Amino acid sequence: MSDVHAQTVSYVRETMLPEAEPPVTERGAIKWLRENLFSSWLNAILTILSLFVIYYVLSHTLGWMLYGIWDAGSLTECRQIRNELYGEDASVACWAVLADRWDQLLFGFYPQDLYWRPVAALLVFFVAVSPILFEGVPRKLFYLTAAAPFICFWLIWGGTIWGPIVVALGFVIAGAIFRYGAEMVGPLLAIIGAFLVPILYWLLLAGPLTGMLNSIAPIGMQYVSSDEIGGFMLAFIIGITGIILSFPLGILLALGRQSDLFIINKTCVTFIEVIRGVPLIVWLFTASLLLNYFLPPGTNFDLLLRVIIMVTFFASAYMAEVIRGGLAALPRGQYEGADSLGLNYWQSMQLIILPQALKISIPGIVNTFIGLFKDTTLVVFVGLSDPIGFSNLIRATTDWNGIYWELFIFIGLCFFICCFSMSKYSQFLERKLRTEHR
């Protein structure tokens, strides 16, 4: 039989062939190009179009940027240097304006030898929010989170250390009354007391107490007034305080919007819709032009504070919507479970609902913060010196009058870096939450 076989089958391979290279069009760069760039006529056209767009943009900007002049004292000098180096017709950037004024764009009029203070405040802020944002961080840091607002306030504005401490004491008093008062005078009186006592304390006692403590032990730093704060520092301060202050307000509004109590529900809905229906710039003008009408005659406090108050209201409406989304995303069983344990409304909110709802809301809160941070540029319209405001101020000097793109590019880049990293973080968080929930 083997003969037959040998005759009919002329050749039998007994060893494996070595793997052959795929054809030229199916491997390496060419395959990648074929699959990713030229898979169809439409794709080929799109690819060529995109390449053209990239070439066009880069050919017009790259040289301008790379040949930019970094070392000059004014725009006129810049032009002279350019004329010497590249001739009159060349178009090159004059980055010297950034070398000259970067500190103002970042810190405003903040005293130069005190720049470490806002930087330290920012670091404190990051450490303080880290237990909220990342899970691997020791929980003890929450104590720092509670103290951080006072530390940051003191670092940025300076002045006596007793001011923030005395104000913080008010919260400690409130907490103590809330915690221990319930047993002594009953829960209702404790809640009312926890609200009223600190307010009375702040209004009547805090001022004299600060003065007294300061005269006993004058510990403090150089006071820096609000109008020396500007540039990106201003944007950060408005954005961060706005978002932090709007957080408790947003929670209350979100709960109010879910509440069955007619008046409270309608008030919250009206507040949220009115705030969200009107552009921020109108609210900022309200802060700058009208807030003085609404306050008792004679009161007057600085524009930065007024803007922060308005921004807080503005952000709280958006925050309320984000948190409402978080509340709505919780399964119904959580509410029912809390009820079946016999917890009352506040207990169930505090122990069951909010911790979960807030956790899912964090990406939304980060996104709200990005939006708010970008919107801080609008304060230029009410005369605060944010980065764009400072670009106007810099151009109003004889040295730099007429400079344009360089400042915008720098400001845009700074915003991009901040917002992009935050949005990447929030996307990471969203992915993590999604996998956790499945």
Nearest to 216 by CA among 263, 162, 176: 162
Q: Does 222 bind other proteins (CB under 8 A)?
A: no
Q: Does 136 bind other proteins (CB under 8 A)?
A: no
Binding residue (CB under 8 A) for other proteins from 56, 341, 402, 428: 402
Binding residue (CB under 8 A) for other proteins from 119, 141, 309, 358: 309
CA–CA distance, 348 with 181 (Å, rounded to integer): 21
Q: Does 294 bind other proteins (CB under 8 A)?
A: yes
CA–CA distance, 149 with 152 (Å, rounded to integer): 5
CA–CA distance, 183 with 188 (Å, rounded to integer): 11
Q: 3 or 232, CB closer to other proteins?
A: 232
Binding residue (CB under 8 A) for other proteins from 295, 328, 329, 341: 295
Q: Does 264 bind other proteins (CB under 8 A)?
A: yes
Q: 6 or 176, CB closer to other proteins?
A: 176
Q: 6 or 56, CB closer to other proteins?
A: 56
Task: Report the half-sphere exposure of 55 (CA within 13 A, side-chain side).
Answer: 6
61-80 residues near other proteins, rule: CB under 8 A = 75, 79
Q: Does 381 bind other proteins (CB under 8 A)?
A: yes
240-259 residues near other proteins, rule: CB under 8 A = 241, 244-245, 247-248
Q: Does 170 bind other proteins (CB under 8 A)?
A: yes
Structure tokens at 156: 């940025």
Q: Which helix (H) or strand (E) holds 168?
A: helix 162-185
Mask for 319-358, x = binds other proteins (CB under 8 A): ----------------------------------------
Task: Report the half-sphere exposure of 437 (CA within 13 A, side-chain side).
Answer: 13
Nearest to 378 by CA among 246, 253, 286: 286
What is the size of the binding site for other proteins (CB under 8 A)?
A: 115
CB of 1 to other proteins, least distance (A): 49
Q: Does 126 bind other proteins (CB under 8 A)?
A: no
For every residue of 282-334, DSSP letters joined together read HHHHIIIIIHHHHSPTT----HHHHHHHHHHHHHHHHHHHHHHHHHHHS-HHH
